[in-house]
Amino acid sequence: MREEAVVPVDIIDDMSSENDDIDDEQQHISDQPAGQLACPLDLKSSRINALLRLRCRVEDAILGGYIYGKNKHKSLSSRLCITEDLRDISLWGVPLLPSKGNPSTDIVLMNFLRAKDYSVYDAFKMLRKTLRWRRDFRVADILEEKFSPELESLWYTNGKDKEGRLLCYNVFRNIKNKELEEEIWGRHHHHQECLRWRVHIMEKAIQQLDFKQGGVNSILQIIDLGNSPGNSWKEVRWINRKMMSLVHDHYPGIIYKNIFINVPVWFSTVHALNLRMITQRSKNTFIFVKPSKVTETLLKYISPENLLAHYGGLKTENDVEFSTDDKVLEISLKPCSIGLIKIPVKEVEVTITWDMMVVGNEVTYREEFIPDDDCSYGVLLQEEKKMVDSVRNSFHIREEGKIVITIDNPTYKKKTAFYRYKTKPSVPIYMYLK
C-alpha cells in the first residue's frame, strides 16, 4: 500500500473562511478543461459531470497547494515546495491527483459525491476535512502501531458476503482475561487508544479493497456485542458513538453495512438517538439485531457456506470436508409440518458426508439410510433429536439408496433449511483390521 503524503501546512480552518476559499476557486475552475475520466463509468450524464467538476477542483487544490485549506502565510518558494510534495498525496492507497490517470481515483471521488448526493461543493469540503483529520490523527502511521494481542483478537476477517464484499467481525466477547477487560474498558484515558485501534482495523480492512469498477470497494462489518463487558457499557457506547461519527464523516462508501448483533433493546434505542445526527444515506448502513434474529438477518447478506457456524451458518475453521465452493441447497418448511430432505446415492463403497442447518432451529430431526432394494433393511443414523446447532454426519454406502432427513417444524413460523453433501471413495475401518 502506498504511503499517504502528509504535508505540514498552516490552514485557516473556520467554516466561513473555507466557504470563501471554495467560492474563490470556482471562477478558476470554470476556465479549466474537464478532461477525461480515467475509466468509463456507467453513470447518468449529470453524475459524470459532477465527477468531472470534482476532479477539476481536486486537481487545482493539489497543484495550488491548498488541498488541506487555503494558506495565506507562505512565501511563493514555500508554496512550490508544498505543491511538489502534494502531487503524491493519496487516500486509502489511491493517488488523489486526477492527472496521474489512476482509475481508482474516480472510484474514491465518487464515494464522496454519493455521500453528499452529488453536490460537488459539499463533496470537496468533505474530502478536505477527511484529509485534515487523517493528518491530525496520524492515520498514515497507524498501521505500524502495535496493540495488545487480546485487543487484536477482538477483530478478524473471515469470508465474503453474497456480493463479494469482505466480512469484518468485531467481537467484544473475545476478552477472557477479566483484569485485561478492566484495563481496556475501565480507565478513561484508554478511550483514545481504543479509538485508534478501531481506526487501525478499519485501515487494515481497507487495504484489502480493490477500488476498481466492478471490484470489491466496500466491506460488511459485523459487530458482536454478545457478552460485552457489563461494567463498561458506558465506554463501549462512547467508542461506538465516536466510530459511527468517524465513519460517517471520513469513510464515505467504505462500510456497506454496520450490523450490530446480540444487542440489548436499550442499546439500539440509545444509538437510534445518535443516528439522528447523520444523513439518511449513512443511517441506512446501521442495523441493530437482537439475539433471536441474528442468523436470519445475517443470511440476508451472507450465504450459508460463508456464515460462521456459531452464527448459524455452515462454515467452520479448518474444515477438511467442505469448502465455500461446495453447493448449498435449501428447502422451505411450512408451519406445523414435516419436511423431507432426500439425498440419492448411486455409488457404492463411498462415504457420504452432509451438513444441515435450519434458520432459528426450534425443530427436531431424524436421519436414516433407505436402500433402493426393497429386500434390504434401512439403517437409522440418528434418532429424533432437537436441533440446537448445525448438524454434520456421514455414512459408508455399501448399496444404492438414499439418505433421508426428516425435519419436524412444530412452530407457527415458516422456516428454511440449508444442506450440502459430497461423497468420496473410502474403505470401512473394519477392513483395515482384518
Q: How do residues 229-267 score in pLDDT, each as one tens digit?
A: 554 556 666 777 787 788 888 999 899 988 988 887 666
From the options 3.30.70, 3.40.50, 1.10.8, 1.10.3470, give the CATH code of 43-66+85-136.
1.10.8
What integer pLDDT is reported at residue 318 of this predicted model?
Answer: 85
Per-domain residue ranges for the chain?
43-66+85-136, 145-301, 327-429
User: What's the rounded Cα separation, in Å, for the pair 235 and 232?
Assistant: 5
pLDDT at 278: 55
**Cα pseudo-dihedral 26, 29, 31, 33, rounded to 10:** -150
CATH number belonging to the domain at 145-301, selected among 3.30.420.480, 3.90.1170.50, 3.40.525.10, 3.30.420.40: 3.40.525.10
- In order of 42, 332, 405, the CA distances from 364 in angstroms are 50, 15, 10
At the top level of CATH, the class of 327-429 is: mainly beta
Taking the C-alpha atoms of residue 161 and residue 366, their distance in angstroms, rounded to an integer, is 31
Sheet holding 337-345, edge to edge: 337-345, 401-409, 364-371, 379-386
Residue 185 has what pLDDT?
A: 53
CB 328 within 8 A of CB 305: yes
Q: How many CB atoms are closer than 10 A to CB 222?
A: 27
**Predicted local confidence at residue 268, as pLDDT:** 61
What pTM value is reported for the model?
0.76
Angle at CA of residue 164, ends 158 and 170, nearest 5°: 35
Report pLDDT digits (tens) over 326-353: 999 999 999 999 999 999 999 888 999 9
CB atoms within 10 A of CB 375: 5
Which portions of the chain are predicted below pLDDT 70?
1-43, 70-84, 150, 173-191, 227-237, 265-283, 427-434
Q: What is the mean pLDDT of the chain?
A: 79
What pLDDT was estimated at residue 395?
Answer: 92
CA-closest candidate to residue 1, choices 143, 135, 128, 213: 143
